[in-house]
Amino acid sequence: MKKIIKAAGVMAVIMIGILACGPGRIEYANANKQLYTLVNLHPDEVHARMYSVNYQREGLIKYCTPVTITKVTSKAAVIRDDSTGKTYQYIFHMRSMSKSQQEHLNKIFATACDPSLIEKLSEDDQKGIDIGTVSVGMTKDGVLIAIGYPPEHETPSLEQDRWKYWTNRMATFVVVFKDGVVVDIIR
């Protein structure tokens, strides 16, 4: 009887997740299904970690890379880069996220990705996205794809003209925009 009740409860959670899921959106029920990165990710390759606070580490998992989220808990997700087979722990920093883990993951991963979107961006954007860095002349869209979203507790709105990022726990930099274009990077 306990097994039946437990199975019914699990099924109800999965069905709620599926029903709440819009096109291209992921839910916990989609664990172990192929997804794609919507931004470049910058993992700590030595420790096989990535962070929701979006530390700009030495690694680069490019936009539209196929990945699989193999596990999600309240503290972290386990993400496999399907192009290399390498697995990373994606650690949630709750202070840096104004949304739930699931809403955060939906900004970073989706069931589809259109690589041709890059072709519509400027040459500066395309160069930055290709190498996973930001430079003067890039647009906000280019910066988002190249280095990901800034942590929400320091940059609560992408409408702001200053986006603060972390290289690691101690080092930060600010991307300054004017009219939606990068005019300075303050380190």
Q: Are 100 and 73 in contact (CB under 8 A)?
A: no
User: Going by C-beta distance under 8 Å and a sequence separation of 6 or more, which residues neighbour residue 29?
Assistant: 13, 14, 17, 18, 21
Sheet holding 162-166, edge to edge: 162-166, 172-178, 181-186
Q: Where are the beta strands (DSSP E) in the chain?
A: 34-37, 49-51, 66-72, 76-81, 87-91, 109-110, 162-166, 172-178, 181-186
Q: How many helices (H) and strands (E) does the chain have?
A: 4, 9
Higher-pLDDT residue of 14 and 98 is 98
User: Going by C-beta distance under 8 Å and a sequence separation of 6 or more, which residues neighbour residue 11?
Assistant: none
SS3 1: coil
Say how far apart CA 113 and CA 140 lie, in whole Å: 19
Stretch 172-187: mean pLDDT, rounded? Answer: 98
pLDDT reading at 17 higher than 50: no
pLDDT band at 170 (very low <50, low <70, confident <90, very high): very high
Q: What is the pLDDT of residue 139?
A: 98
Say how far apart CA 151 and CA 21 lie, in whole Å: 24
**Residue 58 has what DSSP assignment?**
S
Stretch 68-94: mean pLDDT, rounded? Answer: 92
pLDDT reading at 25 higher than 90: no
Tell me the pTM: 0.82
Higher-pLDDT residue of 83 and 54 is 83
pLDDT tens, residue by residue, 118-134: 999 999 999 999 999 99
SS3 106: helix
pLDDT reading at 169 higher than 50: yes
Parse the chain into domains and list their residue ranges.
1-29, 133-186
